[in-house]
Structure 1
Amino acid sequence: MPTPARSRLLDSPLLAERPRPRAVAAWPHAHWLAVGTVCLGAFLGQLTASITALVFPALQEGFHASLAAVEWAALGYLLVLVALLAPVGRLSDRVGRKTVYLGGFAVFSLASLGAGLADSLAVLVACRVVQAVGGAMLQANSVALVARGVPVAAMRTALGIQAAAQALGLALGPTLGGLLVTHASWRWAFWINVPVGLLGIVAGWYLLPRTRPAGPEPATSAPGTAVLPGGARGAEEGRFDLPGLLLLAGASTCLLLALSTASGLPLPGWAVLVLLAASALLALALVRQEQRADRPIIAPGLVNTPGIRAGLVLALIGYLLLFCPLVLGPVLLAGAGVPVATAGLVITALPGAFAVAATFGGVLLPRGSTDAARCRWGALVAAAGLLASALLPAEPATAVPALLVVGFGLGLLLPANNALVMRAIPAESSAVGGGMLNTVRSLGTALGTALPVLGVHLAGRETGGRAVLFLLAAVGLLAAALAGAAARTARP
């Protein structure tokens, strides 16, 4: 039960959620306007994820920094995002998801403006950290806003549209980044977020339904709307696992700092061993903390279920495979003398094929193929594409077909694996399971950013890039084996 002071805070003009205009709320199809608004946030999050890697060479030149240093423009964002998704989700249950979502657009836009104005790499990374706060406010609420505002019968279609918006942002990022760097400046790769964010604020203000009732309009837009497990009431049960969150963030940060130090950060060599040891100790402490926490971030009971464990590992590998070529590709192509704009078009082949396969890939598989079969086929196809990328010259004519194969394989693999994991998780634990899936996805993305930089630093641009791709192809084959294990042990 909220205290009077908390109630007054929630009802303050700053946090009060405004109802939609009556004409919008009364329209029978108003929920699709809300879905469109959520798609703006989904598009923005994936656009910034895929556009940042393409500006690494320009950041190196502009700030006279190493690749290991400029990669923290991406890693800083990802680490903060991992740390904040869970607490922001809980805060949103109390304050109102519409309020937090609109705040996310505002924070993201202001931080993007600051990132484009940054006069040093340290300021840029700081702005990216703030940008991640806004990203967490958007990402932690997107699915819940769809679930609360859309009739149950339209849920699958609405979530599919949201996924398509994410795929569009992921696919446009490299091309748009290449064009902006070539014809304007790397700063526009961040400024491009500002008009999208402003549009999101205006659209959300008028088109999103109120999520914390305070007047005549109900929290949902239509009868029969769905409510996610672990809603506002569930958020009050048990204490939030702040120690677990801090341990997870600490272990991840130490691991990525160790990889960056080995990749050329100006730190002494012994720092790598110290950071790796610290990461291992923090990870062990995290395991012990999660075993006794009321509301663990990583539930041991779920992780110890073989089908779920294999699926989470497969998700980590899959997102690592997805983002590693997005980081490594521009570096290899730049080394071969390919212009940045052309490199952006080449790299777009991967997320573009991913979007097509995620939406229509099942048509090419044998009729009645299960999600487990899609995982196996996807992992093998992605591994074949990575092997082709490693063996063929780094030039557009050979890189595009190989990246199309990689993207198509991952587009088969990841959505099917996510479905397998969520089906294996009991309904009463679906919120925790979804949070774990988001966590491993973000960690996989971070490793997919750090490992290519390490390979290039240790073995040189060409040799290191090939070594990383060979390694990832082997990981892809391991993913196929894990997919088989998940299929045999997953609960129906």
Structure 2
Amino acid sequence: MIRTLLTVERPRPEAVRNHAGAWRFAVLTVCFGAFMGQLDASIVTLTYQALREEFHTTLAAVQWVSLSYLLTLVALLVPIGRFSDVHGRKLMYLYGFAVFTLASAACGLAPTLAALVGFRVVQAAGAALMQANSVALVTTSAPPGRMRAALGMQAAGQAIGLALGPTVGGAIVATLGWRWVFWINVPVGILSLIAGHYLLPRTRERARTSCTDTVGVALLAAATTCALLALSVASGLGTPVWTAAVLGAAAAVAGWAFLRRQSRHPDPLIDLELLHRGPVGTGLLGGLCGYLVLFGPLVLVPVELARRHVSSISAGMVLTALPVGFALAATLAERLLPLGWDDRRRSRAGAAGCIGALVLLVLLPVHAALLPVPLLLLGLALGVFIPANNSVVMHALPRSAAAAGGGMVNMTRGLGTALGVAAVTLALHLAHGTAGYVAASAVLLAFAALALATTAPTRPTAGAPES
């Protein structure tokens, strides 16, 4: 009985399955996961100062509470997606909620920073089980004519979680302490597990094999981990400086081996040929830059305001302007931008807006009353750029490669987020005080300029549709 419960997808009750709103129930259940994932992504940076004080360590060490989570996501999303196609997306999604919830409770009990980082790796494995299956569960639950509405509901869940993260995180850290940032996931996770068991549909069509490139997964994880460890050492991690060069060399070797294997493997994690289809390669680079610019301020602003003795609650309220702007633009841009603008023009306008907002961020005095203005503008610009840029990438791919393209977009999102955390931390370490804030803002500005450069027209590949 227990073995069957743990290995076989259970059907929904007949009353739920035959209800006219059954697909809405399923999509709302997935929205819980979308909400939790984005809430967790934007809430944890508010704990950095409290973690530094409790564990008496540096910002370079504390950033691994975020980086360990992001690196695990990058490594696991694609292989878990393929595994779930064989063994059942509902089953894996529910396992994800269970792992995420238990790991969240463990994070709140962590006695040391090393233990917290380890529990975050486990938590990310649960998040990967959820994220790898969320879109598939939404699209298979909704009727064909309601798919866009269903995906819009999921995007709304993500936007709400991202927007509430800074405010909720600041309030929790200031009143209950940083441990409750993780414990808040527990009751939501339990409710979601129960809802998922009764409301999510079983997997009707399954793939025959989940064969994937495990060596490629290991090489990708090694390359990204070594590269970010090298940045952390340079940011003051507390290890000999020469180890940064060793780690950088190891990252380069692992990266070269990964690309070489992908070019030869019959079922690669990343189809390198797809990167040469029109704007796919440049679009993925632009997406990485966009997510870097989105998440960099989530580290920069709380650290700088804490240095100026601004409370966690106030810092959270200031930082909320960024995800609120992103959520507003992502949901309303379709109605407000000129109808004649294609995705590439929208991408270009969004990237240019990012540059203007970051210039304003550098020029304005660092004050809690003024920072929401450039942060809101930056969020609005990114809310235009990122969806349009992702659309450019996906439209340049053939339908048969849609899943592979979606996996690459998810990987660049994770890498961009991780690099945003690492790049800002490095800039703050190399230049102290106000100079560090300006230097970190300049780094973000440079990546925004690179994002704008990726929107330049590209020569279409034969057989590839123009965006």
Q: Is the CA contact 2:88–2:206 (under 8 Å) kept in the aligned structure 1?
A: no
Q: Which residue of 2 aligns with 1:225?
A: none
Aligned partners of 1:404, 1:101: CA distance in 2, in Å? 34
Task: Answer yes or no: is 1:105 the counterpart of 2:100.
Answer: no
In structure 2, give the amino acid aligned to 1:63.
Answer: F
Of residues 428, 431, 434, the one that matches 2:403 is 431
In structure 1, give the amino acid aligned to 2:216.
Answer: G
In structure 1, give the amino acid aligned to 2:93.
Answer: Y
Q: Which residue of 1 aligns with 2:271?
A: 299
Q: Which residue of 1 aligns with 2:360?
A: 388
SS in 2 for 1:432: helix
SS in 2 for 1:485: coil
User: After superposition, where does 1:31-180 map in structure 2 within 5 Å?
Assistant: 31-180=23-172
Aligned partners of 1:199, 1:43: CA distance in 2, in Å? 13
Aligned partners of 1:274, 1:129: CA distance in 2, in Å? 24
Aligned partners of 2:249, 2:409: CA distance in 1, in Å? 26
Q: Which residue of 2 aligns with 1:338?
A: 310
Q: Is the CA contact 2:278–2:460 (under 8 Å) kept in the aligned structure 1?
A: no
Count of aligned pairs: 464
Task: Answer yes or no: is 1:491 the counterpart of 2:465.
Answer: yes
Q: Is 247-256 or 16-25 further displaced after alignment?
A: 16-25
Q: Is the CA contact 1:244–1:297 (under 8 Å) kept in the aligned structure 2?
A: yes
Q: Which residue of 2 aligns with 1:232?
A: 206
Q: Which residue of 2 aligns with 1:286?
A: 258
Q: Is the CA contact 1:315–1:418 (under 8 Å) kept in the aligned structure 2?
A: yes
Q: Is the CA contact 2:277–2:397 (under 8 Å) kept in the aligned structure 1?
A: no
Q: Is the CA contact 1:42–1:166 (under 8 Å) kept in the aligned structure 2?
A: yes
In structure 2, give the amino acid aligned to 1:416.
Answer: A
Aligned partners of 2:229, 2:267: CA distance in 1, in Å? 29
Following TM superposition, by how much is the alpha carbon of 1:488 offset from its aligned partner in structure 2, in angstroms? 6.9
Q: Is the CA contact 1:310–1:485 (under 8 Å) kept in the aligned structure 2?
A: no
Q: Is the CA contact 2:424–2:443 (under 8 Å) kept in the aligned structure 1?
A: no
Following TM superposition, by how much is the alpha carbon of 1:365 offset from its aligned partner in structure 2, in angstroms? 2.6
Aligned partners of 1:17, 1:488: CA distance in 2, in Å? 44
Q: Is the CA contact 1:60–1:66 (under 8 Å) kept in the aligned structure 2?
A: yes
Following TM superposition, by how much is the alpha carbon of 1:126 offset from its aligned partner in structure 2, in angstroms? 0.8
Q: Is the CA contact 1:362–1:412 (under 8 Å) kept in the aligned structure 2?
A: no
Offset from partner CA, 1:383-431 (integer Å, 9 cap, x none): 1111111121221221000000100000000001111101101111111
Q: Which residue of 2 aligns with 1:326?
A: 298
Aligned partners of 2:294, 2:140: CA distance in 1, in Å? 31
Offset from partner CA, 1:411-469 (integer Å, 9 cap, x none): 00000111110110111111111111111110000001111110111111321221121
Q: Is the CA contact 1:241–1:294 (under 8 Å) kept in the aligned structure 2?
A: no
Q: Is the CA contact 1:452–1:468 (under 8 Å) kept in the aligned structure 2?
A: yes
Aligned partners of 1:135, 1:65: CA distance in 2, in Å? 27
Offset from partner CA, 1:294-345 (integer Å, 9 cap, x none): 1111111011224100100000000000000011110111112211100001
Aligned partners of 2:452, 2:423: CA distance in 1, in Å? 21
Unaligned stretches of 5+ residues in structure 1 = 1-7, 212-218, 220-230
Following TM superposition, by how much is the alpha carbon of 1:363 offset from its aligned partner in structure 2, in angstroms? 3.5
> CA RMSD for the aligned pairs?
1.6
Percent identical pairs in the alignment equals 51
Aligned partners of 2:84, 2:27: CA distance in 1, in Å? 18
SS in 2 for 1:323: helix
Following TM superposition, by how much is the alpha carbon of 1:486 offset from its aligned partner in structure 2, in angstroms? 5.2
TM-score norm. by structure 1 comes to 0.92
Following TM superposition, by how much is the alpha carbon of 1:266 offset from its aligned partner in structure 2, in angstroms? 1.4
Q: Which residue of 2 aligns with 1:406?
A: 378
Following TM superposition, by how much is the alpha carbon of 1:83 offset from its aligned partner in structure 2, in angstroms? 1.0
Q: Which residue of 2 aligns with 1:351?
A: 323
Aligned partners of 2:107, 2:458: CA distance in 1, in Å? 42
Following TM superposition, by how much is the alpha carbon of 1:289 offset from its aligned partner in structure 2, in angstroms? 0.3
Unaligned stretches of 5+ residues in structure 2 = none
Q: Is the CA contact 2:289–2:450 (under 8 Å) kept in the aligned structure 1?
A: no
Q: Is 258-267 or 383-392 further displaced after alignment?
A: 383-392
TM-score norm. by structure 2 comes to 0.96
Distance 1:478 1:14, change over 3 A: closer
Aligned partners of 2:233, 2:361: CA distance in 1, in Å? 27
Q: Is 473-482 or 192-201 further displaced after alignment?
A: 473-482
Aligned partners of 1:130, 1:146: CA distance in 2, in Å? 25
Offset from partner CA, 1:261-318 (integer Å, 9 cap, x none): 0001111111111111111111111111001111111111011224100100000000
Q: Which residue of 2 aligns with 1:226?
A: none
Distance 1:400 1:88, change over 3 A: same
In structure 2, give the amino acid aligned to 1:164.
Answer: A
In structure 2, give the amino acid aligned to 1:104.
Answer: G
Offset from partner CA, 1:235-270 (integer Å, 9 cap, x none): 628x41111111111000000000000001111111
Structure 1 runs of 4+ with >4 Å offset: 486-490
Q: Is the CA contact 1:331–1:461 (under 8 Å) kept in the aligned structure 2?
A: no
Following TM superposition, by how much is the alpha carbon of 1:487 offset from its aligned partner in structure 2, in angstroms? 9.0
Q: Is the CA contact 2:423–2:443 (under 8 Å) kept in the aligned structure 1?
A: no
In structure 1, give the amino acid aligned to 2:220.
Answer: L
In structure 2, give the amino acid aligned to 1:236.
Answer: T
